Amino acid sequence: MSAKPLQDASEVSALNNDNVQPEASDTFVCTPSVEALAERASAYLQAGYPVHLAGPAGTGKTTLAFHAAAKRGRPVKLIHGNDELGLADMVGQDNGYRRNTLVDNYIHSVVKTQEEVRTFWIDNRVTTACLNGETLIYDEFNRSRPEVNNIFLSILGEGILNLPNRRHQGAGYLEVHPEFRVIFTSNPEEYAGTHKTQDALMDRMITMKIGHYDRETEIRVTRAKSGLPPSEVAIVVDIVRELRGQSVNHHRPTLRACIAIARIMADRRISARSNNSFFRDICRDILDMDSAKVRRDGNALGESPVDDVVASISARARRPKIVEPKGLHKEI
């Protein structure tokens, strides 16, 4: 099996034994900036270190994780962090019972019955990944409770997975396969639903800060995802980037907003013009919540700048360019 990169986590084909196979979609875009990040992540993984992709939502962390995992050519397992995730969901648990009954009627007048009931253990994704040397992608791991993630301390530090409840099937611990690797992704701690990660775990991984991509990459990704003409895509991306620069933390709006606006425009076959009321409405609906200027106490500073930015950038893009004829020079 030759693994290929994904553009997003939804484009995953399931294999037997609960693995996923990253495959390139028709909309996958690999620009120099994307490839540079993937090469760094691959270098850390190759050297035996877990990689942590940290950054705001909508910056392509999961896409990059699949891209880096695909480069390894190993089977991939995926876990999504959440507050309800427990240790059993990670490593496995006793599941069901096995009953054995022995009836001894060797002597005609005497019947002896011996019954034995035993639980049996079923491994879950972290355990099978450790056993088989697979690449584990733990998406948004800081949405899980810190005590659940403690299982990775011995895995990443000593190469041992401690499983006391699995002892009846062998030893109470497993030696981690030398090819096992982990790619973590996380959102900033100020996001709702996230937990502060323990220092001991952070110390065992290499953290790569992932920000928003450059303008050319955002244009190419939006174009690939929407099918909108490049000139129209450029206007949408410039509007989103301008509003992002005006926001309080420069996190939002994200590339997802570019793609959403462009897809709707392509579906309705409209242009990015400020005198098009439907285009203005799309931008307000998608961008207003992300671009309102907010004080630290949560009170709005004023009206949303969406209308002004849409009018300014769309007018600038439509303004004809003045080109001076060649060979004409002004005298000084």
Residue 93 has pLDDT above 80, yes or no: no
327: its two tokens: 């060979």
Tally of domains in the chain = 2
308: its two tokens: 């002004």
Of 159-173, 229-243, 255-269, 278-292, the least confident: 159-173
Mean pLDDT, residues 42-54: 96
CA dihedral sign of residues 12, 28, 139, 203: positive
Mean pLDDT, residues 195-207: 95
Q: What are 302-327's pLDDT values in tens digits?
A: 556 899 999 999 888 776 655 555 55
41 lies in which domain range?
A: 12-92+128-209
Domain end: 155, 178, 209, which one?
A: 209
**Domain assignment of residue 301, yes or no:** yes
Judge if 163 and 85 occupy the same domain: yes
Residue 242 has pLDDT above 90, yes or no: yes
Contacts of 176 (CB under 8 A, 6+ apart): 130, 155, 159, 160, 161
Judge if 306 and 204 occupy the same domain: no
Residue 298 has pLDDT above 90, yes or no: no
Judge if 187 and 74 occupy the same domain: yes
Judge if 178 and 288 occupy the same domain: no
**Domain assignment of residue 121, yes or no:** no
- Residue 136 in 3-state DSSP? strand
Judge if 168 and 243 occupy the same domain: no
Q: What angle do CA 234, 239, 240 make, to 5 degrees?
A: 100
pLDDT of residue 280: 94
- CB crowding 163-193: b at 16 or more within 10 Å, else e: beebeeeeeeebebeeebbbbbbbbeeeeee
Q: What are 252-272's pLDDT values in tens digits?
A: 899 999 999 999 999 999 999
pLDDT of residue 30: 83
Domain end: 153, 182, 209, which one?
A: 209
Rounded to 10°, the helix 306-318/230-246 angle is: 140
Q: What are 208-217's pLDDT values in tens digits?
A: 999 999 999 9
Residue 54 has pLDDT above 80, yes or no: yes
